[in-house]
Structure 1
Amino acid sequence: MRWPRQLMSLLFVLTLLAGPPIVLLSLVGAPVQGWPTAAQAREWVQNPLTEQTLTAALTIAAWLVWLLLAYTVTIRVLTHLRATVSWLRRMPLPTPLQATAGGIAGAAVLGVSSHAIAAPPPPPTQPVAAGTPDKAGNPTPPDSDVLADAGISVAGGWLPSDVAEQVSAAAALVWLRRRRSYRPRPPGPPSREDTDLTPLPPTVAAVQAALADSTPPPSEPGTASAGPSLLDQPTVGRAIPRAGIGLTGLGAQDAARGLLVTNLLAGRHHPAVSVVVTRPVLARLLGPTAETLDRRLPGLAVIDNLVQAAKFFSEDHPARGLGGRDPAQRDTHEGGGPPGPTLIVDEASATDNAETLASLAITSAAVAVLGRWPAGQTWQVDPSGRTHHQHGSGTAGPRMCVLSQVTTTDLLTVIAHPDTAPPEPGTSGPSRNPALARRSPQWEATIQDHPARSGTDTRRLQLRVLGEPTLLLDGHPVEIRRTAALQILVFLAAHPDGADTRQLTDAIWPGLPRRSLTGRLYTTLSDLRATIRSTAGETLLEHSDDRYRLDPTAVTVDLWHFHHAVRDAITTVTTDPKTWKAVIDAYPGDLAARRTWPWLDPIREATRRHVIDAHAALASASPDARQALAWLQAGIRIDPYNADLHTRAVTALITLGDHDAADHLRKDYARRLAATGILPTNTALTTATLRDQPAIRTR
């Protein structure tokens, strides 16, 4: 119960506020009893250290300490009141139509049965900032870093909710591309060193974690549709003028970075250019990474000056795309095609080429000037992204996406094109992204010799993490009340050697101050221990030297059994297909299926690759072409996005003479990838067109 503690705290504060004045007034009297006379002043100068002067000094000091305490309490109360008022303002009120419909529904319910009680509707789901988690371990906004204007606060900026959703979709697309590009190899140790299993940047993980519990996962990973350009559609309920704006203030450069990322995200599904920026501005916005990223960012055109911009937007420019649309067509655009490109320039270019810029702003593109723009509106942007018009009434404008340089680089590395160079045979292909390559993996799949489950196993607890995560006691599910507690179980199952407090907090609540999460972690672990102790009478978690681990003598874990099967397959002296089949049989589903925890992706993909390796090995070793095809088809069911498995299956079908099935498989694969926004590899497409070529052997 929290209210007794809160009541005692309130009484203590009231005592501190009321006690000192009462004591001082009763013992000493008022602190000031009139101004001193000239004679008293001369007497004090001649003899300053008297009993009366010392008493007066101590009294004044006591009153000053009390005033400081009263000021602190007042500021805290006003802060909480302001947060409460802000929360009340964000509460959605019913529209007149909704109120009328609710009244009719209520009357109907009361008319049917006088005993029926209408349950209140659940509160609307709001995007969650990367803030303090709630009691269930889910993220909720803290008092200071709260949600505002339907967005998400991260370290280094603020993103509107639709931009955050596109960041999450782009991150899912990165992993789909890695799945597509992976080439099976002979089964190896459980601890893989594939360079393309590097985790995504911390900012991306923070955005994914903030959205994980506020939005349902998409039916297909990476299928989130690209939203409209920030300058092409109203933002947070207010439209940014198409004629162009100037950006000034402390948040001007951060807002320009937000425009860059927002428009590149919005245009990533379209071939047209979505952002045109001058080279000096790009260098100011991105710093040292500008040179490495500008050539790999889809939809970005870098120019030297506005003369090149005018040529770019001309009718005959090959890279113009839809940038030179006529204004009427641009205004009637409703999302059917890509929005017009956004032009970002500095103040010097805008001043020296005012006529050219005005022409581009009216006829070709939305324009953002990094500085004042006398020919158009100028907005002052604060570090939080809130804007104010500098001309006219000075009213507030929409809140803009603001990003720091590091945060922008993190997000752009997710948007950037992957290296198109084919990987070396037998490898998964190195990650050519320098921003990602410098980050070390955040997990290690080192496996200790945990006892495998046998027919005489007396352990009553069983943890299943392959598929839907479930803790079983004698075959019956144990209810885990906190989402964070379930996540901890899966994390420790994936890290048999344990994890310390820092690793757990960084994985479960990425992007949040660690100092504010230690107590939350201890509370979650305490609740998990109490649940298991009361249900099974067991101690599932071990804690020593600030490391937590699952007790292998108390629980069996299906992921550990899977890793044992992988080790058996690679340590067998003779090539035995049974060991590879054991790997496949030990894999009922993806690690923590349908969960969107950011730390899962590298471990989930590494686990899946072991199964793909086993299917490819069985197909290569099978003397029967049809049996080899069956193993390849089973592998495709495990990962329907892998290009190498589809290439082998298409080749096997052509070898068997079933050209129609080969074409059908190729088209299905192309449609599946197109639905996610990526294209199939040339190898798969070329192999599928060999229906008129001589038969080739199955690999």
Structure 2
Amino acid sequence: MRWPRQLVSLLFVLSLLAGPPVVLLYLVGPPLRGWPTAVTAREWVRDPLTEHTLTAALTIAAWMVWLLLAYTVTIRVVARLSATVSWLRRVPLPTPLQATASGIAGAAVFGVASNAIATPSPPATQPVAAGSLDDVGIPTPLESVLHDDGISVSGGWMSREMAEQVSAAAALVWLRRRRDYRPRQLGQPSREDPALVQLPATVAAVQAALADTPPPPPSKAGTTSAGASLLGVPTTGGTFPRVGVGLTGAGAVAAARGLLLTSLLAGQRRPRVSVVVTRPVLSRLLGPAADMLGRRLPGLAVVDKLGEASRFFPGRATERGLDGRDHAQRHLRETTDAGRGAPVLIVDEAAATDSAESVARLAIDAAAVAVLGTWSAGHTWQVDPLGHTNHLDAGGRPGPRICVLTRVTATDLLTILAHPDPSPPEPGVSGPFGDGALPVRSPRWQATGKGHQVRSGEDHRRLELRVLGEPMLLLDGRPLTIRRTAAIQVLVFLAAHPDGADTRQLTDAIWPGLPRRSLTGRLYTTLSELRATVRSAAGVSIIEHNDDRYRFDPACVTVDLWRFHHAIRDATTAVTPADAATWKTVIDAYPADFAARRSWPWLGPIREAARRHVIDAHAALASRAPDARQAIAWLQAGIRIDPYNADLHARVVDALIALGDHDAADHTREGYARRLAAAGILPHDTALTTTIPGQPVNLSR
């Protein structure tokens, strides 16, 4: 409580101000009793050091000290009062409507007797994505979280449906990395693996916001729910007109970025172009990243001139002419019913004005046309930085809310859709379909946890942390109850980082995208409760805190992931074929995936690195198997660890063909193809990005 200390401080100041004058006046009296006369002045000059003059001098000095103290206190009080007045001036007063509503609410509360009032819990705060605000007027994180009809990030706004598509695309990135990994041979040097790089922080923020935001209630028939996807464009309460729309206002460019990402996400499963954009517009939207993403984004066609865009559209508009309105309306219904397979066209105002006839012709076959600027041939929307639109050609009537993204946020999200840089295949290795198109082998990551000893079984109260499989903290074989999910994350994160982690690393991993300054207290609370739980149950503290780094005390807890890393180190240092048994130890030390059934954004690289070690162990044992049947058994065991790995399937198919079992080889090949198709990926994606002129168009997969 602060008020007792404040009261004591006030009494002390008052005693300093009132005490010295009272004492001086009571003991000495006033410093001067009237003005000195000429006689008094001559006596003082003749004998200055008398008892009376010394007393007067000391009294005057005491009064001066008191005046200095009083002046200081007065200045502090005036400054505090001034700050209080300034704060009161900034406090917003309620409007008459708010005052009326408050009064009604107060009357309702105080007028109800003996009835329990249940207050709904406040909505979950939506994390914000990392990135700079490069667009004028883009809301700050504090402003963006006030909207509950979608997912708000520091880089803009998107519907919940679009956030789910981003999360699904991020999962596909890891599935493709698992598919493309090739087991490494023993003794090969380790190097950095770009396939194990964490996804952009913006993706993690979107995933966290999606997890913390409850799903919207189902919409009634005939209405459009928040974030409904119409013609591949997430909006709120409206449709994106097929005849085309011009985008103006502070959020126009951000809305075009949202349209670009939305259309590419919607077209991931279709082997065709989803977006056609002119090169100047793409540079305006993405800046320096436009050239790289323009080559690697599947479903994106970049054209230099608007006339080159007609080759990516069905072409029926040019055949029937512009005067066939009935045919155009029928084609509109056919295209919509067929699943909106036509691409989206994004151009700027200059191109739309100079080639108005071409744009109007393409708009008949396009899923949507967006013009950066006003467009007299279609509708024109004014877009604000939050994605709200107004129909300028309909008297300013409010329109649908559309996705808006800053340049940094859009680039981060588009990165998860882009194909990786092409790498030449290793010689002598072919895929399960004989095309040899698998990327170069991924390097081995060094095993972590080096130097952390495993406690012996002689400890009376044994604490064990299991993170391979469902995470749990065991005391004498029985799980301890950890109430906070964040505390479980702390345990798993520190298990994966035996050398420790600082406050920034923990907060960025557990609460991605949220302002770090607001998370320090939350982390301290989580750690304090976790320590109290463990201390009350086991009498020890398993987490050390030195120099702002948190780490496990290896003398107080054992971790199954550390034992797994020790087994890996023993296997990688074995140099004789007789030491192949150490690879079985690696397999036995891996009961399940790292933090199985958990979807925390930071898990991906660590989980995949551990899985790759086990795949390496199965491949090594298969290569040393005495016969083909045993080799196939080890390879199939590896496939059970990772059913999406193409190299393991290729080796099984080759081994079965070598044994003459072509039916089993075909069954393995077809089952693998079905598994990939069910997951939304194909055995070997071919780039759908098309840049013309000068390069061939290849839209096959």
One-letter code aligned to 1:406: V
Identify if the C-alpha distance between structure 1 residues 405 and 335 changes in structure 2 by more than 3 Å, giving closer, same or farther: farther
Match among 563, 568, 571 for residue 569 of structure 1? 571
Q: Distance in 2 between matches of 1:145 and 1:525?
A: 29
CA distance in 2, matches of 1:357, 1:327: 17
The separation in 2 between residues aligned to 1:681 and 1:645, in whole angstroms, is 15
Query: Where does residue 469 of structure 1 map in the other structure?
Result: 471
TM-score, reference length from structure 2: 0.73
Residue matched to 1:73: 91
Structure 1 counterpart of 2:557, one-letter code: V
2: distance between equivalents of 1:544 and 1:191? 31
Q: Is 1:598–2:616 an aligned residue pair? A: no
1:175 aligns to 2:174 (yes or no): yes
What letter corresponds to residue 480 of structure 2 in structure 1?
A: V
CA displacement 1:361-417 (0-9 Å, x = unmatched): 245442111011122221111112121222333122222111111111111111112
2:621 aligned counterpart, secondary structure = helix
2:251·2:385 contact (CA, 8 Å) conserved in 1? yes
Mapped to 2, the partners of 1:238 and 1:295 lie a distance apart of 33
Aligned residue in 2 for 1:256 = 256
**CA distance 1:62–1:667, shift in 2 (3 Å):** closer
Q: Deviations over 1:571-620 (max 9, x none)?
A: 23423221000000000000001111111100100000000000000000
**Per-residue Cα deviation, 1:294-349 (whole angstroms, up to 9, x for no partner):** 121111111223322345436389xxxxxxx9643543566763532111111111
Residue from 556, 567, 582 that aligns with 2:585: 582
1:373 corresponds to which residue?
A: 375
Q: Measured at CA, do residues 191 and 506 of structure 1 come closer, stay the same or move farther in structure 2, by a change above 3 Å?
A: farther
1:639 aligns with 2:642: yes
Task: Give, in angstroms, the shift of residue 210 of structure 1.
Answer: 2.1
> Would you say 1:385 and 2:387 are equivalent positions?
yes
Which of residues 442, 451, 457 in structure 1 aligns to 2:453? 451
SS at match of 1:295: helix
Aligned partner of 2:31 in structure 1 is none
SS at match of 1:301: strand
SS, match of residue 130 in structure 1: coil
The correspondence of residues 61-140 of structure 1 with structure 2, limited to 5 A, is 67-74=85-92, 128-130=126-128
Deviation by residue 1:260-280 (Cα, 9 ceiling, x = unmatched) = 011011111101221111111
* Aligned amino acid, residue 645 of structure 1: L
Equivalences for 1:94-243 in 2 at 5 Å? 128-130=126-128, 144-146=143-145, 148=147, 150-186=149-185, 193-213=192-212, 231-232=231-232, 235-243=235-243
Hey, what's the Cα distance between the residues in 2 that align with 1:315 and 1:344? Answer: 18
Q: Which residue of 2 aligns with 1:503?
A: 505
Q: 1:621 to 1:535 in 2, by over 3 A?
A: same
Structure 1 residues 495 and 606: alpha-carbon distance in aligned structure 2, compared to 1, 3 A threshold: same
Q: How many residues align?
A: 562
| Aligned position for 1:286 | 286
Q: Alignment partner of 1:294: what SS?
A: helix
> Using the alignment, how far apart are the partners of 2:388 and 2:148 within structure 1?
10
Structure 2 gaps of 5+ residues are: 8-75, 106-117, 131-139, 216-226, 318-326, 430-437, 686-701
Equivalent runs, 1:166-565 vs 2, <5 Å: 166-186=165-185, 193-213=192-212, 231-232=231-232, 235-313=235-313, 315=315, 327-331=329-333, 337-424=339-426, 446-458=448-460, 460-565=462-567
Residues of 2 paired with 1:131 and 1:162: CA distance? 17
One-letter code of the match for 1:339? G
CA–CA separation in structure 1 for the residues paired with 2:549 and 2:632: 46
* 1:504 partner letter: L
Counterpart residue type for residue 267 of structure 1: G
Question: How has the CA–CA distance of structure 1 residues 388 and 60 changed in structure 2, closer, same or farther, with 3 Å as cutoff?
Answer: farther
Other-structure match for 1:33 = none
Output one character per residue of 1:670-699: Cα deviation in whole Å (capped at 9) or x when no partner: 0001112222249xxxxxxxxxxxxxxxxx
Q: RMSD of aligned C-alpha atoms?
A: 3.9
Alpha-carbon separation, structure 2, partners of 1:211 and 1:637:
30
**Structure 1 stretches of at least 4 aligned residues deviating more than 6 Å after TM superposition:** 58-64, 120-127, 188-192, 425-428
Letter in 2 for 1:165: E
What displacement does 1:73 show? 2.9
Unpaired runs of 5+ residues, structure 1, are 13-57, 89-119, 133-140, 217-226, 318-324, 433-440, 683-699
C-alpha distance 192-154 of structure 1, shift in aligned 2 (>3 A): farther
Q: Which amino acid aligns with 1:148?
A: H
Q: 2:77 & 2:473 partners in 1: Cα distance? A: 65
Query: Aligned equivalents of 1:229 and 1:304: distance in 2?
Result: 30
Note closer, same or farther for the CA distance 1:599–1:623 as it changes in structure 2 (3 Å cut).
same
Change (3 A) 1:300 1:124: farther
Please, which moves more after superposition, 237-246 or 540-549?
237-246
**Partners in 2 of 1:546 and 1:188 — Cα distance?**
38
SS at match of 2:370: strand
Q: In the TM superposition, what whole-angstrom CA distance separates every residue of 1:150-188 from its partner, at most 9, and x where no partner exists?
A: 321223222211111111111111111111111101357
Distance 1:455 1:483 in 2: 29
* Paired amino acid for 1:181: D
Read off the aligned partner of 2:128 and give its amino acid letter. Answer: A
In our comparison, the structure showing a higher alpha carbon Rg is 2
User: What TM-score, normalized by structure 1, do the two folds share?
Assistant: 0.73
- For 1:600 and 1:191, locate their aligned partners in 2 and report how far apart those are by CA, in whole Å: 21
CA contact (8 A) 1:127 1:161 kept: no
Equivalence for 1:618: 621
Helix, strand or coil at the partner of 1:448: coil
Three-state SS of the structure 2 residue aligned to 1:462 is strand
Tell me if the contact between 2:424 and 2:440 (Cα under 8 Å) persists in the aligned partners: no
> 1:34: which partner in 2?
none
Question: Do 2:202 and 2:412's aligned partners in 1 also have CA atoms closer than 8 Å?
Answer: yes
| Aligned AA (1:255) | A
Secondary structure class of the residue paired with 2:393: coil
Indicate if the aligned counterparts of 1:151 and 1:158 stay in contact, CA closer than 8 A: yes
Partner of residue 35, structure 1: none
Q: What are the superposed Cα offsets for residues 179-211 of structure 1, whole Å, 9 maximum, x if unpaired?
A: 111110135799873221111111112112222
SS at match of 1:205: helix
Report which stretch shifted further, 669-678 or 446-455.
446-455
Mapped contact 2:328–2:364 kept (Cα < 8 A):
no
Letter in 1 for 2:603: L
Going from structure 1 to structure 2, the CA distance change for 1:598 and 1:478 (only over 3 Å counts) comes to same
More displaced stretch, 197-206 vs 613-622: 197-206
- Counterpart amino acid of 1:254? A
Aligned residue for 1:563, secondary structure, equals helix
d(CA) in 2 for partners of 1:306 and 1:564? 60
Determine if contact 1:127/1:150 at 8 Å carries over to the other structure.
no
Alignment CA distance shift 1:354-1:244 (3 Å): same
Q: Secondary structure at the match of 2:342?
A: coil
* Structure 1 pair 176–312 and aligned structure 2 pair: CA distance change class (3 A): closer
Using a 3 Å threshold, how does the CA distance of structure 1 residues 326 and 617 change in structure 2: closer, same or farther? Answer: farther
Q: Distance in 2 between matches of 1:548 and 1:60?
A: 46
Please state how far the C-alpha of 1:59 moved relative to its aligned partner: 13
| Equivalent-residue separation in structure 2 for 1:124 and 1:654 (angstroms) | 62
* One-letter code aligned to 1:162: E
3-state SS of the aligned residue for 1:186? Answer: coil
Match of 1:674 among 656, 677, 688: 677
